[in-house]
Structure 1
Amino acid sequence: MTTTYALLLRGINVSGHRKLPMAELRALLEGLGHTGVRTYLQSGNAAFTTDADASGDALAAAVEKEIERRLGFRCDCLVRDGAYLAAVADACPFPAGELEGKQLHAVYYSAPVAPDRFAAVDAESFAPEAFALGDRVMYLYTPDGLGRSKLAEAVMRPSLTKGLVATARNWNTVRKLVEMTA
């Protein structure tokens, strides 16, 4: 069975560090036997199709291993199928259609996240910013953008994300990944 997936890389091509040209990422994925490889932006988003009978976690581990072998650095990756990405977009508790893409983000996690992990965050003190948890995702509403968000800073603290891979995408990218994996 052929499945289309999105690959989300964490922390590449940021401030000139951990450089991974998208042409090289496409070649890497094709070298792993994936087809229909496409990338989006320079920040580590790709879509690919595979016949491999493997979980998203196994596919991500193979990409991580190949990046380290080829480029000499470790890069956390998440792989999610198109159905999951569409479900995340559909379940958004915020009015995504009314907001600018920079105002809404999906923070994808490597595993389910229990609400008690964020119990110490006084969400009301950050209003109008807000967050909500979903299936291995946090929806993050930041009206002034992620870079200026105090709530994003609070919920992305290493102590709260310990043991998880977490990577954020703005809503424009969320929509594009849904489109690329449909």
Structure 2
Amino acid sequence: MTRWIALLRGVNVNGITIRSADLAELFRGLGCTDVRTVLASGNVVFTADDDRDPDDDALRAAVERALRDRFGYDAWIVLVPHDSLAAVLAGFPFASAADRHDYVVFASTDAALDDLLDGLEPDPAVEQVARGDGVVYWSCPKGSSTSTIVAKRAGAARFRQTTTTRNTNTLRKLL
């Protein structure tokens, strides 16, 4: 039995609305147990009956296909082993501050994270970015999480299928 976190990209924005109860029902229908949704932004904690390798795309593909079939949108998710999330949060390299938002960018491949950072030169006085183990850490001023250099790059269409970003406050609720 493996505990997972499914991070859905683009849920409850841009006209794609999925109720938490419906999302949990979908995961249960896939045979998952201990299903828990967190907030209304596409976060699902669940247990799968088999012990899959985090790099195994079969589970991810099954969830994406079920989301497409049930809710009729181009669904993309990133799967994170639940037991690795505490280490991801503990590895956040920047000091938190009341006037900043702290984020973690997750990806379905390391190559996507490398591509995200390739040639990126953010102003360190505005935002901070660092590569972590399987993630990218990012901190920016409140109110600018869609307008900074990192935000614009992460929001580019080429990353839509492979990356998703979560605030560290949300991630703590997934533990």
Common fold: TM-score over 0.5? yes
Which has the larger share of helix? Answer: 1
- Work out the CA distance in 2 between the residues paired with 1:159 and 1:148: 14
Instruction: Tell me the residue number matched to 1:173.
Output: 170
Matched position secondary structure for 1:7: strand
| Contact 1:101/1:171 (8 A) holds in 2 | no
Q: Counterpart of 2:121 in structure 1: which amino acid? A: D
Q: Which amino acid in 2 is paired with 1:79?
A: L
Aligned ranges 1:26-37 → 2 under 5 Å: 26-37=24-35
Gaps of 5+ in 2: none
SS of residue matched to 2:110: coil
For residues 173 and 3 of structure 1, the distance between their equivalents in structure 2, rounded to whole angstroms, comes to: 21
| Identity in percent | 35
Distance 1:12 1:160, change over 3 A: closer
The residue type paired with residue 91 of structure 1 is: G
The residue identity in structure 2 corresponding to 1:99 is A
Whole-angstrom CA distance in 1 between matches of 2:99 and 2:8: 19
Which sections of structure 1, spanning at least 5 residues, go unmatched?
none
1:36 touches 1:48 (CA, 8 Å); kept in 2?
yes
How big is each residue's C-alpha offset from its partner over 1:47-96, in whole Å with a ceiling of 9 and x where there is no partner?
0012223344322211111111112222101111112212211211112x
Counterpart of 2:65 in structure 1 is 65
- How far apart in 2 are the matches of 1:67 and 1:116? 27
- Give the structure 1 partner of residue 80 of structure 2: 80
8 Å contact 1:101–1:170 — kept in the other structure? Answer: no
Which residue matches 1:107? Answer: 105
Report the equivalent of 1:130. Answer: 128
- Post-superposition CA distance 1:99-132 (Å, at most 9, x none): 3596100011111146575342222x35231100
State the TM-score, normalizing by the size of structure 2: 0.85
Cα distance in 1 for partners of 2:145, 2:163 equals 16
SS in 1 for 2:141: coil
Residue 157 of structure 1: CA displacement?
5.2
